[in-house]
Structure 1
Amino acid sequence: MKALKTTFGEFYRAIHDRSPFPWQERLAEQVARTNEWPSEIGVPTGLGKTACLDIAIWWLASQAHRKPEERTAPTRIWWVVNRRLLVDSTAEHAERLAQAFAGPASLGLASERREVVEDVSERLRALSAMPDASPLDVIRLRGGMASRTPADPSRPTVILCTLPMYGSRLLFRGYGSRLRPIEAAMAGTDSLVLLDEAHLAPHLRSLVAALPDCSPGAEAILGEERSSVRMTSLTATGDSAGKRFELDEMDEANPTVRERLDSVKPLELRRFETGEVAKRLSDAALELLFEAQSPSACLVFANTPKTARAVFEHLQHQLPEVEAELLLLTGLAREREAKEIRARILDPTDGMPANRPGDPARERHLVMVATQTLEVGADLDAEYLVTESCGVRALTQRLGRLNRFGRHRHARALLVHLPPPKRRGAMDSLEWPVYRGEPAVVSQRLEEICARRNEQVVDMSPRRVAEVLGPPADDPGRAPEVLPGILWEWVKTTTPPDGEAPVEPYFSG
Structure 2
Amino acid sequence: MKEVFAAAMTDAERFAQRFEQAVGFPPLPYQVRMALAPEWPGLVRVPTGLGKTAAVVLTWLWRRRYADPKVRQSCPRRLVYCLPLRTLVQQVVDNVALWLSRLNVPVFGHVAAAGSQSSERGSDSEFGEPVGVYVMMGGAVERDWVRLPEYDQILIGTQDQLLSRALNRGYGVSRGRWPMDFAFLNNDVWWVYDEVQLMGGGGIYTTAQLEAFRRRFGTCGSNYSTWMSATLDPEWLDTIDFVPYRNATWWIDLDEDDLTHPVIQQRYRARKLLYWSDFYLSSSDASRPNEYAKRVAELALGKHREGALTLVILNRVNRAQAVYRQLLAMSPNVPIRLVHSRFRPADRQDIGRAVIEMESSGGIVVATQAVEAGVDLSARTLISEIAPWASLVQRFGRCNRRGEFQEADVWLLDMEDDLDCAQPYAEEEIKEARARLRELEEVGPESLKTWRMPPPEGQVLRQRDVLDLFDTTPDLAGLDLDISPYVRDISDTDVQVYWRSIGEGPQLSDWPARPEEICNVSMSAMRDYLTAKKENRTRKDRVWTWDWLTGTWMSFRERNPVPGKVYLLDAALGGYRKDVGFDPGAWEPVSIVPSGDEETRREELSDADDPNTYQGSFVLLADHLKHVGEAAQSLMEKFQEQIPEDLRRAVVEAANWHDIGKAHPVFQERLLAGLSNDHPYRASLWAKSGRGPEYHEPQAQSCQEDSQERLAGSGGEEGPLTLLKVPDRKHFRHELASALAYLQLHDPERPDVTRDLVTYLIAAHHGKVRMSIRSLPDEIPPAADPRERWLFARGVWDGDSLPGVILPTGEVLPQVTLQLGWMTLGRGPWGESWVDRTMHLLKQYGPFRLGFLEALVRVADWRGSEREGKRV
CA distance 1:333–1:135, change in 2 (3 Å)? closer
Q: 8 Å contact 2:186–2:214 — kept in the other structure? A: no
The within-5 A match list for 1:255-404 is: 255-270=262-277, 272=279, 276=285, 277-289=292-304, 292=305, 294-319=306-331, 321-322=332-333, 324-347=334-357, 351-352=358-359, 359=360, 362=361, 365-404=362-401
Within 1, Cα distance between the matches of 2:105 and 2:188? 27
**For the Cα contact (< 8 Å) 1:102–1:134, is it kept in 2?**
no
Match of 2:164 in 1: 168
2:869 corresponding residue in structure 1: none
1:465 alignment partner, SS class: coil
Determine the C-alpha separation between the residues in 1 that align with 2:212 and 2:388.
34
Deviation at 1:39, TM superposition (A): 1.9
Q: Secondary structure at the match of 2:307?
A: coil
Residues in 1 aligned to 2:234 and 2:208: alpha-carbon distance in whole angstroms: 14
8 Å Cα contact 1:211/1:482 also seen in 2: no
**1:5 Cα deviation after fit:** 6.5
Residue pair 2:47, 2:445 contacting (<8 A) in 1 also: yes
Aligned to 2:89, what secondary structure does the other structure show? coil
Q: Which amino acid counterpart does residue 296 of structure 2 have in structure 1?
A: L
Q: Distance in 2 between matches of 1:16 and 1:232?
A: 22
How far has the Cα of 1:158 moved from its partner? 0.9
CA separation of 1:499/1:216 partners in 2, compared to 1, >3 Å: closer, same or farther?
farther
Equivalents in 1 of 2:395, 2:94: separation in Å?
22
Tell me the residue number matched to 1:254.
261
1: CA distance, partners of 2:403 / 2:255: 20
Alpha-carbon distance in structure 2 between the residues aligned to 1:264 and 1:235: 21
Q: State the alpha-carbon separation in 2 of the partners of residues 45 and 436 from structure 1.
A: 26
In structure 1, distance between residues paired with 2:51 and 2:348: 24
Q: How does 1:5-404 map to 2 (within 5 A)?
A: 6=11, 7-30=14-37, 34=38, 36-51=39-54, 52-62=56-66, 65-66=69-70, 71-102=73-104, 131=124, 134-144=129-139, 147-150=142-145, 151-178=147-174, 179-201=177-199, 202-211=201-210, 218=217, 220-222=219-221, 226=222, 229-241=223-235, 242=246, 243-270=250-277, 272=279, 276=285, 277-289=292-304, 292=305, 294-319=306-331, 321-322=332-333, 324-347=334-357, 351-352=358-359, 359=360, 362=361, 365-404=362-401
**Aligned residues: CA RMSD:** 3.0
Letter in 1 for 2:87: L
- 1:376, CA displacement in angstroms? 1.6
Q: Is the 8 A contact 1:167 1:507 kept in 2?
A: yes
> Relative to structure 1, is the Cα distance of residues 209 and 446 closer, same or farther in structure 2, using a 3 angstrom cutoff?
closer
1:385-419 Cα deviation digits (max 9, x unpaired): 10011110111111111111111224211001121
Query: Is the partner of 1:206 in helix, strand or coil?
Result: helix
Which amino acid letter does the alignment assign opposite residue 300 of structure 2? A
Change (3 A) 1:304 1:20: same
Q: Which has the higher contact order (CA 8 A, sep 6+)?
A: 1
In the alignment, the residues of structure 1 paired with residue 96 and residue 389 of structure 2 have an alpha-carbon distance, to the nearest angstrom, of 30
Measure, in 2, the Cα distance between the counterparts of 1:249 and 1:213: 32
Aligned to 2:436: 445
- Gapped runs of 5+ residues in structure 1? 105-124, 353-358, 424-429, 450-457
Q: Does the residue aligned with 1:343 lie in a helix, a strand or coil?
A: helix
Amino acid at match of 1:74: P
For residue 449 of structure 2, what is the amino acid of its counterpart?
A: A
SS at 1:159 equivalent = strand
Amino acid at match of 1:18: F
Evaluate the alpha carbon distance shift between residue 218 and residue 256 of structure 1 in structure 2; reply closer, same or farther with a 3 A threshold.
closer
After superposition, the C-alpha distances for 1:14-62 in whole angstroms (9 at most, x for unaligned) are: 33342111111122222xxx2x322210100011111211111101124
Tell me the residue number matched to 1:471. 452
Deviations 1:460-505 (A, max 9, x none): 11122235xx3335x6222143333x43443234x44433312222
Quote the offset at 1:262 in angstroms: 0.9
Give the distance between the partners of 1:148 and 1:462, measured in 2 at CA. 43
Residue aligning to 1:490: 469
Q: Which amino acid aligns with 1:405?
A: R
Amino acid at match of 2:226: T
1:269-296 per-position Cα deviation (integer Å, ceiling 9, x unaligned): 235467654344223212212xx3x322
- The alignment covers a number of residue pairs equal to 438
Letter in 2 for 1:441: E
Equivalent residue letter for 2:18: F
1:47-83 CA distance string (max 9 Å, x none):
111121111110112457349xx92211111110102
Task: Tell me, yes or no, if the aligned pair for 2:270 and 2:407 is still in contact at 8 Å.
Answer: no
More moved, 248-257 vs 277-286: 277-286
Aligned amino acid, residue 479 of structure 1: Q
The alpha-carbon deviation at position 257 of structure 1 amounts to 0.9
Report the secondary structure of 2:411's partner residue: strand
Residue in 2 that maps onto 1:453:
none
* Separation (CA, whole Å) in 2 of partners of 1:9 and 1:93: 18
Task: Identify the residue that residue 426 of structure 1 maps to in structure 2.
Answer: none
The CA deviation at 1:443 is: 2.1
The 2-side partners of 1:46 and 1:75 are apart by: 28
Q: Following the alignment from structure 2 to structure 1, what is the Cα–Cα distance between the partners of residues 192 and 212?
A: 22
Aligned identity (percent) is: 25
CA drift at 1:246: 0.6
Given the superposition, is the C-alpha separation of residues 57 and 214 from structure 1 closer, same or farther in structure 2, using an over 3 Å criterion? closer
- Preserved contact between residue 45 and residue 230 of structure 2 (Cα < 8 Å): yes
Distance 1:394 1:342, change over 3 A: same
Q: 1:175 is aligned with what amino acid?
A: Y
Contact 1:129–1:154, Cα closer than 8 Å, also in 2: no
Distance 1:384 1:480 in 2: 40
Evaluate the alpha carbon distance shift between residue 439 and residue 282 of structure 1 in structure 2; reply closer, same or farther with a 3 A threshold: farther
TM-score where L is the length of structure 2: 0.47
Kindly state the Cα deviation for residue 160 of structure 1 after the two structures are TM-superposed.
Answer: 0.6
Structure 2 residue runs without a partner (length 5+):
1-5, 107-118, 236-245, 286-291, 490-872
Q: Partner amino acid for 1:460? A: V
